[in-house]
């Protein structure tokens, strides 16, 4: 059943219903937009929390790695010194930092090959030769 107002006129009741429906439609949209904004905000908050957790884990892993590197440096230094003794090379100071060995001191030219072999057998990342040859 269709109710038709008089031609060219809109009843007050119909006008009120139209305005109410329009307002409800707009309000619904605003609520939907607000809900979407809240969802996006919650996702961003979750991302920040995830990053914080990720950073904490990364920092812990770096601390463990650095501690292991320190232990490795000590082990490498001890092994190089033992190898130098085994090859009969004296007068060499061994420094190890971040897996890199630096040899300092003065040795006879004939012992250079033994000194380098002693250092390389410890499997360092790199050997820096700062030896003075006699």
Bridge-based pairing of strands 126-133 and 92-97 is unpaired
Residues 24, 27, 29, 35: what is their CA dihedral angle, to the nearest 10 degrees? -130
> How many whole angstroms separate alpha carbon 39 and alpha carbon 92?
66
pLDDT one-digit tens code per residue, 24-33? 555 544 555 5
Contact between 73 and 99 under an 8 Å Cβ cutoff? The reply is yes
- Tens digit of pLDDT for each residue in 82-118? 999 999 999 999 999 999 999 999 999 999 999 999 9
What's the helix, strand, coil split of the chain in %, to 5?
65, 15, 20
Q: Please report the domains of the chain, with CATH numbers, ordered by start residue.
A: 12-133 (3.30.70.1770)
Q: What is the model's pTM?
A: 0.51
């Amino acid at each position: 059943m269709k109710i038709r107002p008089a031609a060219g006129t809109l009843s007050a009741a119909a006008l009120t219903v139209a305005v109410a429906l329009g307002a409800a439609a707009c309000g619904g949209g605003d609520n939907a937009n607000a809900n979407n904004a809240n969802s996006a905000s919650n996702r961003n908050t979750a991302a920040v929390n995830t990053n914080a957790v990720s950073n904490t884990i990364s920092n812990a892993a770096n601390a463990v790695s650095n501690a292991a590197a320190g232990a490795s440096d000590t082990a490498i230094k001890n092994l190089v010194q033992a190898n130098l003794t085994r090859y009969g090379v004296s007068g060499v100071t061994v420094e190890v930092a971040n897996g890199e060995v630096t040899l300092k001191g003065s040795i006879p030219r004939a012992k250079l090959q033994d000194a380098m072999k002693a250092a390389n057998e410890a499997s360092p990342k790199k050997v820096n030769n700062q030896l003075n040859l006699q």
